[in-house]
Structure 1
Amino acid sequence: MKVLKFGGTSVANPENINKVKSIVASLNDPKVAVVVSAFGGLTDLLLQTSQLASKQDQSYKKGLEEIEARHLSAIKELLPVQSQSSVLSQVKSDLNVLETLLEGCYLIGELTPKLSDKIVSYGELLSSFIISEFFRFQGLDAQFKDSRELIITDEQYGKANVDFDKTNAKCQAYFSSINHRITVLPGFVSSSRMGNSTTLGRGGSDYTAAIIAAAQQAEILEIWTDVSGMYTANPRLVKQAKCVSHISYEEAMELSHFGAKVLYPPTIQPVLSKEIPIAIKNTFDPENPGTLITKNHNGNGKTVRGISHVGNISLLSLEGPGMVGIPGISKRFFETLSLKNISIVLITQASSEHSICVGIADDDADAAAYAVNETFAYEISSKKIKPILVEKDLTIIALVGDNMKSHQGLSGKMFSTLGKNNVNIRAIAQGASERNISAVIKKDDVKKALNSLHETFFEENTKQLNLFVMGVGNVGAKFLDQIRQQKKYLKDELKLNVRVVGISNSRTMAFDENGIALKDWESVLAEGQPADRNAFFNQVKSLNFRNSVFVDNTASSDVAKSYADYLRNSISVVTCNKIACSSDYDFYKELKQLAKQYNAPFLFETNVGAGLPIIDTLKHLIASGDKVRKIQAVLSGSLNFVFNTFNDSVTFHDVVKQAQEQGYTEPDPTIDLSGVDVMRKILILARESGHQLNIEDIENISFLPKESLETNSNDAFFESLKKYESDFQKLYKDAADADSKLKYVAQFEDGKAKVGLQKIPRGHDFYNLEGSDNIVLFFTERYPNQPLIIKGAGAGADVTASGIFADIIRIGNF
């Protein structure tokens, strides 16, 4: 069985109906279902007429006269005089009922959804009956069947929900019992379980055809319209748009959802599970192949299959400080809209939780704003949340394609194109399927946006980065998680395809040439081969991937010694391991030279200040010709955390233990507390400033007892801290008595560096440094008196991982 649906333009007038007859007559199928829409423009006319009647405006009668005239005229043109009588009689009877319904609407001054469904159903009921009679006159073996007798729904008027069990049973029973080859049915209309007329929503004729096709396991569902298939963009707005010959169900759903009017979005659902093909054909060019919609079509590797849009959109923005960290805000927001039967087209929320933005139909905007303001009246009155912000007259544009999820940079290209063409983007969203990217723009910019995007798309140029990660402890695990979370962003916004090809810890290592699935990296690593640093390097070298990056998240001196081997093979190095850059000056210099020689970046931003842009800022100062005169800094997040937390009500031992457990210290906390870690950091800054120093050149004024410094295990170290608790308490008391705070300070001036614990008086830049934050003061020729200050979180796995991530992005942008 074949199911054909003809839209309003296809049956707009007798001339077009003759074209429909020719298409149907050319079929050789034993059974054909033909679903037709109302005559073109009739549904809108019925709605307008009923609205006028409900407002007790007598001009509704003119609308009724026009409705009657169009149908009677069609009958007289399509049928000879001798065949018109019975058809005219039936149509006039139906028009009389319609007149009664409109008169009732006028008298009560109200148009209920139930009454509206009854009125608008006459468009399809009349057109399908007239067309079926025309087919019969033309010699086709056709009969009329009222879809309300087959499609059963709930009582949700305006857009009823189909009871598929009952509907399928009725369809199967009917079509198995008939002898006529062609059945003509009205689209859009249905009936409730109680027998009341219902409708399937605007565009519901497509849905009617799909329901029947699915119930009958049809060979194909053909949607006949006035264009030759689904286009790369709206051909009425984009002259260069081309027909897409073959797409998947999912792509078609996305395109239809975002305004491709040749297909009503719910149409695909009934046929999807049955894998029934859908053909989009042109009534006025029937030989054109149009578009075929089937399962899993890869589009010949093309990424963006279409650019679509949906207009008359409003943005509702709910924002305010009272939303941050408060559970249930989103629930209340969406629940309010749901209770008002308001459909949400687009959702976007800031990661800060400070705002939620949704796109809805313009017609619903005022009602939605009133309802949401009522729901959050208390929060609004207490200034926790702002009154809802409504922006109208907007349009959503969307890029759609199944293959978008496996390509990178599309969002960046999309937004760049729009920006260059001065199209402002109000909101952005992307489905979890990664099958569409949507942006909200002003409706006045639609044509410009569609045309500029159409010129840009259907090819892409992305850069692939292949990462080999050694060390997946606290920092490494966070780093992998951040890559996983940001993978889509990197692809869409930065044109970077970041893959983790190899990972290793101290026990095992694993590789996957196609990229390790980061959601499963732990299990992949657990099943890997025994770890071997040399074997790891040899594997990276043998794979010989372009844009390879070795990422060192360890604190191992042996791993640091291998950097030169990677750089010599044009493999970039990103590291949070400070050993290489603070080791012998000649080795540090060699690594820098190798990076230049082999065009392989060597980046170590996290060596100082974790994720803070300290080294990067210093590099820019030097590159621009500035000269460093002095550096003063609190560079140990762990020590700053310790001395900010330590007081006379808590032991020094407990504070240090807490710092270790929260990842603020190195695995061996003596590296931090002895000052060695700070020495390394100020040494790196001195070297990056252009000075030739080694670690031995730095003066270290330690606050730890000698016994603590000489311990050979973490357990022994922590025991020693307990022993000298009174000494630590004295340090705290002396500082407190002087209205000062203890800070471990590093300083570089006149070619000399030193580190040590200092009492910082109130008013100093270091005094209010909280938590594990770092601060660096750069006194340079350009900043001689008021230093350039960089301040922020300087320790912790998350921020260190983000610093490594930032270095990866820098490499991607080289």
Structure 2
Amino acid sequence: MRVLKFGGTSVANADNIKKVINILEQYSQDKTVVVISALGGVTDLLIKTGTLAANKDEAYKEVLSELEKRHLDTVKALLPVTQQSSCLSKVKQQFNELDEICEGVYRLNELSPRTRDRIISFGELLSSQIVADYYAATNQPCEWLDVRKLIRTNNNFGFAAVDFDVTNQLIADKVNASTTKLFAAPGFVAANADGHTTTLGRGGSDYTAAIFAGALQAEALEIWTDVNGMMTADPRWVPNAKNIAEISYQEAMELSHFGAKVIYPPTIQPVMARQIPVWVKNTFAPQEYGTLIRNTPSVEGEFIRGISSMNNIALLSLEGSGMIGIPGFSKRLFEALAKEEINVILITQSSSEHAICVAINLADVEKAVKAVDLAFEPEIKAGKVDALKVERNLSIIALVGDQMKSHPGISGKMFGVLGRNGINVRAIAQGSSERNISAVISFNDAKKAVTVLHEAFFEFEYKNLNVAITGVGNVGGKLLDQLAQQQAYLQQHLKLKVKVVALANSRKMLLKEEGIALDNWKQELDNSADMQLDEFVAGVVARNLPNTVFVDVTANADVAQIYGKLLSKSISVVACNKIACSSPYNYYQQLKSLAAAYNALFLFETNVGAGLPVIGTLNDLLRSGDRINRMQAVLSGTLNFVFNNYDGTRPFAEVVRQAQAEGYTEPDPRLDLGGTDVMRKIMILAREAGEQLEMDDISNTQFLPASCFDGSVEDFYQEMGKQEAHFQKLYKEAADKGCKLKFVATFENGKASVGLQHIPPASDFYHLYGKDNIVLFYTQRYPEQPLVVKGAGAGADVTASGVFADIIRTARV
């Protein structure tokens, strides 16, 4: 004996019903009960019909007419013309009865729970009758079972409780007495002792099948649906969700209770009591293995079975000093909720007994508040207990696995992952069986939470990193090229999948959650919306994607001002832009504090030395307990390039133009040549070393004549040409001493300075060529022979590689 249940999508139309029949052919030799759901979507339409009628809206007639036509069309498409008459007559008869009921609802302007159950029962009654008649039309005996005469329930219409003693006997007597091998039964529907139709709750067809399986002590129960079994997470949220091959009864109950829609939660109990295995299979891919639910032995390493979520949750909090040490408060709270038939999904209580929280369905909030406030009215008036506090729009996420109890650190890993992604946990519960850990979070974070937890516990292939980039000019373009080039490498060697989900320049912005094709980003960006910085940032935040990093490859002050908004949403920031870290110290420190508070990273390695590991080296020294005594550096690749290439044989202005053309300078070269850029860099290093330094505190000995700072960039070049004698003099004075010109930054004893210096051959700075930078760290451990970081300190490629490295660092935490 086997029991099979087919869901609404499996019998949505004639073609699908034929697929069901094909599946049933393999059981032709066994006694089989087939439980049928309503045609896909019909139950919702029946509910709509009753609601419209109760609201005196004659549109209910149109819905009824559409439903009737759909069922009649299904019969005509399914049965041979010569054998349609009987089935069409049954359908018409059912709809005539349904029409009379709805007309009564319309006239009374009232829809009672009992009448509602009667209306929505027609979906399963009709579909199961059609399937039975189709079998009869193919000369295969099939007996239709009227479950209203077999499944006995109480009077709780809409969610009736089954009387198993009576039900089991009725089902066993009926089926065992019949010589027919195949039975078709409507799911979801039952009746009370008076014969009035009841229903078993939405999804109750699964439950019906389990009731039959338990009563008949079936060999197996098969739940046929439109997915390949139970999965480690909702595939609509987690594309990489995996099928669960085997799962225990208890694990399946936990996952279904906390929102896994594949199987209806009460389904497990009747089959678990008799150790009947349950298969969850796909009607549209019957060759797939599916999921087997049974008492399954644990598999080494598989201590988490799945992640589930339940939405539309509210959290009720009863608090007050008068609760401490007084017995009975919890009992009174649950009694008040029970009287209103409100289901408590999750419970958590503080150890001080000062507060107790329960999670309930959002739809039950209003009556819960009234009931609880009434129950505690004396204490509330006396100030011993606060009025019930309600938090809406919440979700529960649950981590489920039988073997969690034998693996320490699961909770820590779970909440660490949530914390790093800025997901606030409102309440926590762990069952005494340690089979699940549940957390109440904001509904807006539910998808993100399930995604990052699945990534942490199941996706051993790779981690997803969602990147938003503003600034796609010279450096930004190179960065995108590097990301495209390294995608395969990152997945293979670092198990990291980098997806660019947002791009912007000064004119256009593009946000694309599924990812922007890196071989066509220029065209996509050109065809996108006009750039609005606030909208761009709001779009990145609103998408609430896991492991998001915002990359600023601009020199824009407005962009630098929005870092705080991103960090406070636990979005890491990688800044090539130096403005934020060289802003007033309070803002720099605020960003650092926000990053720490919201488990985000604020990285800006390329602020000093482009791709050189200058800031990283400094931080490593400090974290290991070293102390900085002095820093000396040549920090401008632009100035080093200029003075390495200027020898008086061609104009100074020409050399600067070359530096700009090769991408070494800021858009306005005066930021480099005037020393401002170097001042910013030495200040950033000083701040990272722990000094509260401002730009005004830095001494700058400039070599450019004051007249060069007037007017436009082109005016600047023209004025440099006029001042060629000045530059010739600077060069000659150094050359006559056997020295080179270098623009040096120094930090010592809390003071910083920048300026042009004559560098003798014995200096570390003398043999510094091209666009190279160099930093000398004199520390407690390196007091005389400094730790040296030296290399290319300018250029789009090396700067982009430094940004790239920071992006990867955000993923490795």
* TM band (smaller chain): 0.5 to 0.7
Alignment-derived partner of residue 11 in structure 1: 11
Partners of 2:106 and 2:375 in 1: CA distance: 35
Alignment-derived partner of residue 144 in structure 1: 144
Partners of 2:307 and 2:213 in 1: CA distance: 28
| Pair 138,300 (structure 1): closer, same or farther in 2 beyond 3 Å | farther
Question: Please, what TM-score do these two structures have when normalized by structure 2?
Answer: 0.56
Deviates more, 1:94-103 or 1:135-144: 135-144
Alignment-derived partner of residue 52 in structure 2: 52
Partner AA of 2:217 in structure 1:
Q
Deviation digits for residues 116-150 of structure 1, max 9, x if unmatched? 11111111001100111112223433221111111
- Percent identity over the alignment is 54
Is the 8 Å Cα contact of residues 23 and 286 (structure 1) preserved in structure 2? yes
Distance apart, 1:399 and its partner CA: 0.4
Tell me if 1:24 matches 2:24: yes
Partner AA of 2:98 in structure 1:
L
Q: Give the secondary-structure state (helix, strand or coil) at the position aligned to 1:185.
A: strand
Q: Give the secondary-structure state (helix, strand or coil) at the position aligned to 1:344.
A: coil
Distance apart, 1:81 and its partner CA: 2.1
Alignment-derived partner of residue 445 in structure 2: 445
Partner AA of 1:339 in structure 2:
K
Alignment-derived partner of residue 348 in structure 1: 348
Alignment-derived partner of residue 79 in structure 1: 79
Is the 8 Å Cα contact of residues 53 and 102 (structure 1) preserved in structure 2? yes
Q: Give the secondary-structure state (helix, strand or coil) at the position aligned to 1:231.
A: coil
Deviation digits for residues 311-346 of structure 1, max 9, x if unmatched? 111111111112111211111111011000011111
For residues 351-362 of structure 1, the aligned pairs below 5 Å read 351-362=351-362
Q: Give the secondary-structure state (helix, strand or coil) at the position aligned to 2:179.
A: coil
Partners of 1:378 and 1:171 in 2: CA distance: 51
Alignment-derived partner of residue 245 in structure 1: 245
Alignment-derived partner of residue 103 in structure 2: 103
Partners of 2:67 and 2:378 in 1: CA distance: 51
Partner AA of 1:18 in structure 2:
K
Distance apart, 1:296 and its partner CA: 4.0
Partner AA of 2:99 in structure 1:
E
Deviation digits for residues 347-393 of structure 1, max 9, x if unmatched? 11111111111111111111111211121122222222121111111
Tell me if 1:178 matches 2:178: yes
For residues 191-206 of structure 1, the aligned pairs below 5 Å read 191-206=191-206
Is the 8 Å Cα contact of residues 256 and 263 (structure 2) preserved in structure 1? yes
Alignment-derived partner of residue 289 in structure 2: 289
Partners of 1:65 and 1:220 in 2: CA distance: 39
Distance apart, 1:194 and its partner CA: 1.2
Alignment-derived partner of residue 228 in structure 1: 228
Tell me if 1:130 matches 2:101: no
For residues 222-621 of structure 1, the aligned pairs below 5 Å read 222-458=222-458
Distance apart, 1:56 and its partner CA: 1.8
Partners of 1:191 and 1:341 in 2: CA distance: 20
Is the 8 Å Cα contact of residues 246 and 291 (structure 2) preserved in structure 1? yes
Is the 8 Å Cα contact of residues 247 and 299 (structure 1) preserved in structure 2? no
Aligned length: 463
Partners of 1:12 and 1:446 in 2: CA distance: 30
Partner AA of 2:436 in structure 1:
N
| Pair 299,308 (structure 1): closer, same or farther in 2 beyond 3 Å | farther
Partners of 2:322 and 2:60 in 1: CA distance: 50
Deviation digits for residues 658-691 of structure 1, max 9, x if unmatched? xxxxxxxxxxxxxxxxxxxxxxxxxxxxxxxxxx
Deviation digits for residues 47-77 of structure 1, max 9, x if unmatched? 1221221222222222212221221111111
Q: Give the secondary-structure state (helix, strand or coil) at the position aligned to 1:96.
A: helix
Deviation digits for residues 686-721 of structure 1, max 9, x if unmatched? xxxxxxxxxxxxxxxxxxxxxxxxxxxxxxxxxxxx
Alignment-derived partner of residue 569 in structure 1: none
Alignment-derived partner of residue 158 in structure 2: 158
Partners of 1:61 and 1:380 in 2: CA distance: 50
Partners of 2:49 and 2:383 in 1: CA distance: 46
Partners of 1:241 and 1:297 in 2: CA distance: 22
Distance apart, 1:183 and its partner CA: 0.4
Partners of 1:442 and 1:139 in 2: CA distance: 56
Is the 8 Å Cα contact of residues 34 and 185 (structure 1) preserved in structure 2? yes
Partner AA of 1:266 in structure 2:
P
Is the 8 Å Cα contact of residues 306 and 399 (structure 2) preserved in structure 1? yes
Is the 8 Å Cα contact of residues 303 and 459 (structure 1) preserved in structure 2? no
Is the 8 Å Cα contact of residues 133 and 143 (structure 1) preserved in structure 2? no
Partners of 2:51 and 2:350 in 1: CA distance: 41
Deviation digits for residues 630-663 of structure 1, max 9, x if unmatched? xxxxxxxxxxxxxxxxxxxxxxxxxxxxxxxxxx
Distance apart, 1:239 and its partner CA: 0.6
Q: Give the secondary-structure state (helix, strand or coil) at the position aligned to 1:398.
A: strand
Deviates more, 1:417-426 or 1:137-146: 137-146
The alignment yields a C-alpha RMSD, in angstroms, of 1.7
Partners of 1:140 and 1:298 in 2: CA distance: 43
Partners of 1:239 and 1:123 in 2: CA distance: 32
Alignment-derived partner of residue 686 in structure 1: none
Distance apart, 1:29 and its partner CA: 3.6
Is the 8 Å Cα contact of residues 150 and 171 (structure 2) preserved in structure 1? yes
Distance apart, 1:421 and its partner CA: 1.0
Q: Give the secondary-structure state (helix, strand or coil) at the position aligned to 1:5.
A: strand
Alignment-derived partner of residue 512 in structure 2: none
Distance apart, 1:439 and its partner CA: 0.8
Partners of 1:227 and 1:424 in 2: CA distance: 32
Q: Give the secondary-structure state (helix, strand or coil) at the position aligned to 1:426.
A: strand
Partner AA of 1:314 in structure 2:
A
Partners of 2:431 and 2:202 in 1: CA distance: 24
Partner AA of 1:403 in structure 2:
Q
Is the 8 Å Cα contact of residues 50 and 116 (structure 1) preserved in structure 2? yes
Is the 8 Å Cα contact of residues 191 and 197 (structure 1) preserved in structure 2? yes
| Pair 454,325 (structure 1): closer, same or farther in 2 beyond 3 Å | same
Partner AA of 2:328 in structure 1:
G
Is the 8 Å Cα contact of residues 246 and 296 (structure 2) preserved in structure 1? no
Partners of 1:139 and 1:439 in 2: CA distance: 55
Structure 2 gap ranges (5+): 461-624, 628-813
| Pair 459,40 (structure 1): closer, same or farther in 2 beyond 3 Å | closer
Partner AA of 1:186 in structure 2:
P
Q: Deviation above 3 Å: which 4+ runs of structure 1?
A: none
Partners of 2:317 and 2:88 in 1: CA distance: 54
Alignment-derived partner of residue 509 in structure 1: none
Alignment-derived partner of residue 721 in structure 2: none
Alignment-derived partner of residue 114 in structure 2: 114
Partner AA of 2:202 in structure 1:
R
Partners of 1:317 and 1:438 in 2: CA distance: 17
Distance apart, 1:458 and its partner CA: 4.7
Is the 8 Å Cα contact of residues 302 and 458 (structure 1) preserved in structure 2? no
Partners of 1:58 and 1:368 in 2: CA distance: 34
Is the 8 Å Cα contact of residues 117 and 198 (structure 1) preserved in structure 2? yes
Distance apart, 1:624 and its partner CA: 14
Partner AA of 2:232 in structure 1:
T
| Pair 59,459 (structure 1): closer, same or farther in 2 beyond 3 Å | closer
Partners of 1:175 and 1:301 in 2: CA distance: 44
Partners of 2:28 and 2:126 in 1: CA distance: 27
Deviation digits for residues 201-246 of structure 1, max 9, x if unmatched? 1111111101111111101000001111110101121111110101
Question: Please, what TM-score do these two structures have when normalized by structure 1?
Answer: 0.56
Partner AA of 1:58 in structure 2:
E
Partners of 1:80 and 1:259 in 2: CA distance: 41
Q: Give the secondary-structure state (helix, strand or coil) at the position aligned to 1:104.
A: helix
Partners of 1:25 and 1:140 in 2: CA distance: 11
Q: Give the secondary-structure state (helix, strand or coil) at the position aligned to 2:9.
A: coil
Partners of 2:364 and 2:298 in 1: CA distance: 37
Deviation digits for residues 139-174 of structure 1, max 9, x if unmatched? 433221111111111112111111111111111111
Partners of 1:271 and 1:81 in 2: CA distance: 41
